[in-house]
Structure 1
Amino acid sequence: MNDEKISVDNRDYVGALASGLEVLSAFDVQHKKMTLSEVAQITGMDRAKARRLLLTLHALGYIAKDGREFRLTPKVLRLGYAFNASNDHLDVVQHYLQSVTSELGESCSLSILDNDEIIYLVRSSAAHRLMSINITPGTRLPAAYTSMGRVLLAQLSAAEQKDWLARAQLLEHTDNSIVDKNRFVNMLKDVKQQGFCVVDQELELGLRSIAVPVFDYQGKLLGAANISTNSLRVSMQSLIDKYLPALQDAAKSITAHAK
């Protein structure tokens, strides 16, 4: 089999499986427990369909039921463990991200693109907390307003970027947020050309980050790595002069050792 994706109207597409995974994905930090009505609303399914899927996942042990509320069980960790076990390079990534944190005292992460969001795969956390939410592997953030997201979007082809922007919503999280799509496209061109991206307080005030793409030894894109910091503590000049070289060195080391 090749890596070509099939469309939803393809006869090999299993809609029930896709819907079940959609229900599992509906549970997150903001929705740790949900009622049937809440699951139906978030997924856009009718209550009858959502109920059947929830009860099936409950029977399989992936979802627990507490009164009217549903929640994920530890069994879902098997899916994440299988991913980690089949991606040996993540241990290499963790090692070099931790070296950046040790050197600079800042959090360092690697993420991949998933439609309109990035998913954190590896995280080396600093002692201080930067965001209003606790970021761990599996955390999702809007790709448009994170340095890692923009680096990953910049790696897409022009056609892929056009399709992405056609469906994307550019929201004003802060006064600094880019909401004009033409400006966003030009920004992605600059990111691709310079090989890194800085996002300054566009997602949260005070949050400043810098990211670079990370490839394996064959040139395959593994994701994007970033350093996140506080705008009051680290200047833009320091971010470029000190933090960027450390991040680029880590990315090169990952490339050399990610087999």
Structure 2
Amino acid sequence: MSKDSDEFVRSIARGFSIVEALGKPPGRHTLAEAAQIADLSRATARRILATLVTLNYCASDGRYFSLKPRALGLGLSYLNALPYWGYAQRALEDLRNEIGESCALAVLDEREIVYALRLPARRILSTNLGIGSRLPAHLVSLGRVLLAALPPEKRAAYLASGDFKPVTPRTETDPQRIGAILGRVEKEGYAWVDGELDPAICGIAVPLRDQIGAVVAAISINMISGTMSEAAAKKKYLIPLKKTAQDIRSQMVSAR
């Protein structure tokens, strides 16, 4: 459905744009700042903010607006609706405790991954990521698994419309080579990325499939770059990672 459709409710879309604006750092914004971030007029933003304050989703001290705890329910509604989230949380906790490395689960949202779970290891990696954090999909192992699972026409459209800018000296930016990498990920059933987003971090990921075999998410193990090669990571972590994905899927199937 396009934004020009009669069924598209602009007031709801504008309301969500203000909620998203208030979630941007530093976490509180003036009316003018919120309107600018949401690309709305001040008059429209003022009405939406007043409504959010009345509904207890937003607080105001007279100058600044910030989200209140009730807004957290919007995100939790999505997580609670995922049929695998509770199973995945327990399974990834067990995996993290077993191997001593950071573990994560993410879903694809257009050109980005969104973390639905992230369980850091005791030794802290340099990233500051949590549930809801977003990253460019092609730069991380989780994203490459999810991109590789796209239908061929959607994958081709993604590669054709991408602006793959370098983030580190190791970042792959050529669409043809990225396409070849995704083809290999689809064939081999896992993705490995080393230092393409952060030169200090590498990771290995596998798909998480639902009851009918469709890829609905990806799970990963992440570690400090330079501590392990792809071959070593594959030998040490691929089997337990795939077993964890299968365990989560089995619990989804048995819960039907």
Give the structure-2-normalised TM-score: 0.90
Q: Which runs of 4+ in 1 moved over 6 A?
A: none
Q: Distance in 1 between matches of 2:83 and 2:249?
A: 13
- 1:250 equivalent among 226, 244, 251: 244
Question: Which of the residues 190, 207, 217 maps onto 1:213?
Answer: 207
Give the drift of 1:166: 4.2
CA distance in 1, matches of 2:48, 2:131: 26
1:11 matched to 2:1? The reply is no
- Quote the residue 1:86 is aligned against: 81
Contact 1:217 1:257 in 2 (8 A): no
Query: Which piece of structure 1 moves more, 168-177 or 104-113?
Result: 168-177
The answer to whether the 8 A contact 1:117-1:140 is kept is: yes
Distance in 2 of aligned mates of 1:167 and 1:41: 26
Cα separation, partners in 2 of 1:51 and 1:184, compared to 1, 3 Å: farther
Residues 1:207 and 1:30: Cα distance change in structure 2 (over 3 Å): farther
Task: Select 1:98's aligned residue among 90, 93, 101.
Answer: 93
> Identity of counterpart residues, as a percentage?
35
Runs (5+) with no aligned partner, structure 2:
none
Structure 1 letter corresponding to 2:210: D
Aligned partner letter, 2:39? G
Q: Which runs of 5+ in 1 are unaligned?
A: 1-5
Alpha-carbon separation, structure 2, partners of 1:230 and 1:246: 19
From the superposition, tell whether residues 146 and 255 of structure 1 become closer, same or farther in structure 2 (CA, over 3 Å). Answer: same
- Give the aligned residue type for 1:124: L
The match for 2:122 is: 127
How far off is 1:29 after superposition? 6.1
**Alignment: residue pair count:** 253
- CA contact under 8 A between 2:22 and 2:65: conserved in structure 1? no
Residue in structure 2 matched with residue 230 of structure 1 by the alignment: 224
SS in 1 for 2:178: helix
Alpha-carbon contact 2:23-2:67 (below 8 Å) kept: no
Q: CA deviation at 1:81?
A: 3.0
Scaled by the length of structure 1, what TM-score is found?
A: 0.89
Aligned amino acid, residue 195 of structure 1 = G
Distance in 1 of aligned mates of 2:72 and 2:114: 16
Q: CA deviation at 1:150?
A: 1.3
